[in-house]
Amino acid sequence: MTRSIIDTPVSDEVRAAVASGWAAYKAATAEAGAHDSLDQQVMDAVDKRVIDDVIHAFVRQGRPFSANAIRPHLPAGVRKCLISRRLIAAQNDGLIRYVGVTPSTLASTKAARVNVYAPIPGALS
């Protein structure tokens, strides 16, 4: 069975929010040193904030999205394994809801199922 890939177009607003997240990430790592020399709790907080900023940008955009759309917009040092936990947190915060699945675009996952989420209208108002 072949499933279609949900490809989320990225608006200028999302690009600006992602740029802001990159700036925050660079400022945090420049202040405290290279990513691997940061205390683990600080690393977690910085990574979570950057991922949350990208999720919020996609929520504001108002179209369904998945981790496939988020991954390319994260700085190289951000731990991508936190994406699913941050999506769950966004669900628990009432920002997004599960609407389906799409194949992963990462070659290493061999098209594993990735959840698709839709923003809840007015959640970030």
Contacts 24+ apart (CB under 8 A), 98-103: 99/64, 100/6, 100/64, 101/3, 102/3, 102/4, 102/5, 102/6, 102/66, 102/68, 103/3, 103/5
pLDDT for the residue 120: 96
Query: Which among 32, 21, 19 is positioned nearest to 78, based on CA atoms?
Result: 21
Instruction: Judge whether residue 69 has pLDDT over 60.
Output: yes
**Tokens standing for residue 14:** 């999302």
Instruction: Judge whether residue 31 has pLDDT over 70.
Output: no
Q: Give 67 or 5, the one with higher predicted confidence.
A: 67
Q: What is the per-residue pLDDT across 32-66, written as a single tens digit (0 to 9) for each?
A: 555 555 567 777 888 999 999 999 999 999 999 99
Instruction: Judge whether residue 116 has pLDDT over 90.
Output: yes
Mean pLDDT within 12-32: 76
Q: What is the per-residue pLDDT across 73-107, written as a single tens digit (0 to 9) for each?
A: 988 888 888 999 999 999 999 999 999 999 999 88
pLDDT for the residue 101: 95
In this prediction the pTM is 0.69
pLDDT for the residue 8: 76
Mean pLDDT within 18-28: 78
List, in sequence order, every residue forming a beta bridge with 65; answer none if it has no partner. Answer: 117
